[in-house]
Amino acid sequence: MKICTTIRETRAACRDARQGNKRVGLVPTMGALHEGHLSLVRAARAQCDAVAVSIFVNPTQFGPQEDLARYPRSFELDREFLEKEGVDILFAPSAEEIYPKGEITWVTVEGLSDKLDGRSRPGHFRGVTTVVAKLFNIVEPDAAFFGQKDAAQAAVIRRMVRDLNFSVEIVVCPIVREPDGLAMSSRNAYLNPEERRRALALRSSLLRVEQEFHGGERNAAQLMAVAKEVFAREPQVRVDYIEIVNPDTLDPVQQIAEPTLVAVAAYVGTTRLIDNVVLNPNGGKS
Q: What's the closest the beta carbon of residue 276 comes to ligand AMP, in angstroms?
A: 11
Residue nearest to ligand AMP (CB): 147
CB 71 within 8 A of CB 33: no
- Spatial separation of the C-alpha atoms in residues 226 and 233, rounded to whole Å: 11
- Given 34, 37, 124, 214, which residue is catalytic? 37
Whether 34 sits among the annotated catalytic residues: the reply is: no
Nearer to ligand AMP, 206 or 220 (CB): 206
Chain residues in the site for ligand AMP (CB under 6 A): 29-30, 36-37, 39-40, 146-147, 149-150, 173, 175-176, 183-186
Beta bridge partner(s), residue 177: 183
Question: DSSP 3-state assignment of 223?
Answer: helix
Between residues 175 and 250, which has the closer beta carbon with respect to ligand AMP?
A: 175
Would you say 208 and 285 are in contact if contact means Cβ atoms under 8 Å apart? no
Nearest-approach distance from CB 272 to ligand AMP, in angstroms: 12
* 26 within 8 A of 139, measured Cβ to Cβ: yes
Nearer to ligand AMP, 94 or 255 (CB): 94
Under DSSP, the state recorded for 207 is H
Question: Taking the complex as a whole, how short is the minimal distance between the CB of residue 125 and ligand AMP, in angstroms?
Answer: 13
Beta-strand (E) ranges in 64-164?
89-91, 143-147
98 versus 183: smaller Cβ distance to ligand AMP: 183
Contact (Cβ atoms closer than 8 angstroms) between residue 116 and residue 241: yes
Pairing status of strand 169-173 against strand 50-55: unpaired
Cα–Cα distance for residue pair 170/143, rounded to 1 Å:
6
Least separation in angstroms between residue 112's CB and ligand AMP is: 16
Question: Which C-beta is closer to ligand AMP: that of 139 or that of 184?
Answer: 184
Categorise residue 281: left if φ over 0, alpha if ψ from -120 to 50, beta otherwise.
Answer: alpha
Q: How far is the CB of 121 from ligand AMP (least distance, A)?
A: 13
Point out the residues that are catalytic. Answer: 37
